[in-house]
A and B are shown apart, each in its own frame.
Chain A
Amino acid sequence: MSLNRILTIVLRQFYLIRGSFSRVFPLFAWIGVDMILWGFLTRYLNSVASSGFNFVPALLGAVLLWDFFGRIMQGVTIAFFEDVWSRNFLNIFATPLLISEYVSGLVLTSVLTSLFGLLIMFVLATTLFNLSFFAYGFMILPFLLVLFLFGISLGIFGSALVLRLGPASEWFIWPIPAIISPFVGVLYPISTLPDWMQSISRILPPTYVFEGLRAIITGKSVPLISLVLATVFSFIYIFLAYLLFVKIYHSALKSGLIARYSAESVS
């Protein structure tokens, strides 16, 4: 693997983002919108609830962590879509670039763009709604790591699907976080869910993050095994998503899809 070629994939995204307000804006826009919506909602709930329960870290914190997850996933897929939209596959895959370098470049791009989003999130949450992520203690670090890893795996999976099904299939990718969110218990404990949904929840790493988050808020400890399990699951999903991407890439080399990639050629 060549670090130079991996960084070149990142550089291409940097050129695109630097020269385009419409690419910079989404890095923080949705985080800002969600923060205002959920921030005021939690403030209102705090004022009317008689229990004295603090909704800010429970709801606003959870929503912001979920936004972080979404940004990670989209960081990978949008970097990939830039090559789809500019019909760049033939140019880029005719170079010495290896598929592992290409995927690594997409992931590194996502790391950098989502760290920027995370920074904005921290600043706004702290200054506007007095939410300190340090309220979760050092557990915030493994929580972010698990969401980060799972976001990467879904980003690679989404890119593989679009590579296989064509540009028009990007609409399958955008709703993935929304489809997953009821199962992972972003806003409620998964014990609320019926058994069949809980079975799915247990194999989704973010479930352990949001269950852990609620445990901390209610003064309980987070079982170490659940975080280890979530991390192991995330690495397995990354591995499987990468294998799928490579398999689809090789199938596209055989079918001619890489050389003739367009909505028409794959529909």
Chain B
Amino acid sequence: MPILSVSGLKKVYDDIVAVDGISFEVASHEIVGLLGPNGAGKTTTIDMILGVLKPDAGTISIGGLDIFSHRSEAVSRTNFSAVYTPLPGNLTVVQNLRIFGRLYSVNNLSEKIEELLARFDLAKLRNKKCGVLSSGEQTRVSLAKSMLNSPNLLLLDEPTASLDPATARDVRLKIREFAKECKGGVLWTSHNMYEVEDVCNRVLFLSHGKILLEGNPKTLPVEYGKKTLEELFIAVAREPLSLEEN
């Protein structure tokens, strides 16, 4: 059974179709890249999977549980980190991890927090308020939060956008470890195509709310006559119709 199953998902804002009937799955141990230009519908899709945005049509199930009819149970199997959603700046790192750990009903929470503080190099910052941390440090705290409940499905919206190259590489390594060692799957959005090629097993290209292309990031560019994934991305962004015809 897939970890995440999305079927016929649609979201319309007034007369703008943000997500247009997309269907896809994420399997256990799989890292899937959700790619596309700004406004393609990536974040809207992630918000719907998180249960904070209600779709106009379609279904989402996590581990076989429908996100809206079994919300609490389904959501307890997910977690997320998004560059635009830092944790409350008025609580310390440990306080934030404790609050969210309790909300996700994490067992042995204190031990888990210590493990994550060590894994994300946050031990020295444990009693600092999150609001005074650098953007890179805040991202690491958010990633630590996202792994508190060892989720079946990890949703990452541009998780390395504010990180320096060395830290970004460490984070990619940790997420790969997560997918390999835990039974979870990862849905990842990024605008860094080198990173996507390095990390993702499979990518979905979104354009105007539809999945335009799907495949292995290492072989997909060649299939569409492009040298790199970045070239393919630019083609999706500028000439989506030409790719649809292929």
Contacts and interface: CB of A to CB of B under 8 A. Distances in A.
Contacts of B92: 15
B85 A8 contact: no
Contacts of B72: 96-98
A50 interface: no
B103 A254 contact: no
Interface in B81-98: 82, 85, 87-92, 95, 98
A258 interface: yes
Contacts of B88: 82, 86, 88, 91
Contacts of A95: 75, 100, 103-104
B89 A256 contact: no
A94 B102 contact: no
A24 to B, nearest CB: 14
Contact of A253 (B44, B54, B103, B105): B54
Contacts of B91: 12, 15-16
Nearest to B103: A95
A258 B89 contact: no
Interface string A66-92: 000000000000000010001111111
A2 B13 CA distance: 34
B222 interface: no
A141 interface: no
A90 B85 contact: yes
A93 interface: yes
B99 interface: yes
A93 B52 contact: yes
Chain A interface size band reads 20 to 34
A259 B47 contact: yes
B76 interface: yes
Given A94-B50, A94-B51, A2 B105 contact: yes
A259 B52 contact: yes
Contact of B53 (A5, A92, A98, A253): A253
Most chain A Cβ neighbours within 10 Å, of B44, B47, B50, B52 = B52
A96 B76 CA distance: 5
Given A12-B91, A16-B91, A253-B53, A90 B82 contact: yes
Contact of A96 (B44, B75, B80): B75
Contacts of B90: 16, 19-20, 82, 86
B5 to A, nearest CB: 19
Nearest to B98: A11
A103 B19 CA distance: 31
Nearest to A261: B52
B103 A97 contact: yes
Nearest to A11: B99
A4 interface: yes
B163 to A, nearest CB: 20
B76 to A, nearest CB: 4
B214 interface: no
Interface string A180-195: 0000000000000000
Interface in B59-82: 71-73, 75-76, 78, 80, 82
Contacts of B47: 90, 256, 259
Interface of B: 13, 44, 47, 50-54, 71-73, 75-76, 78, 80, 82, 85, 87-92, 95, 98-100, 102-105
Interface of A: 2, 4-5, 7-8, 11-12, 15-16, 19-20, 82, 86-98, 250, 253-254, 256, 258-259
Given A15-B91, A91-B85, 14 more contacts: A8-B102, A15-B92, A20-B90, A86-B88, A86-B90, A90-B82, A90-B85, A96-B73, A96-B105, A250-B54, A253-B52, A253-B53, A254-B54, A256-B53
19 contacts: A4-B105, A5-B102, A5-B105, A8-B99, A15-B91, A16-B90, A82-B90, A86-B89, A90-B52, A94-B51, A94-B80, A95-B103, A96-B76, A96-B105, A97-B72, A250-B54, A256-B13, A259-B47, A259-B52
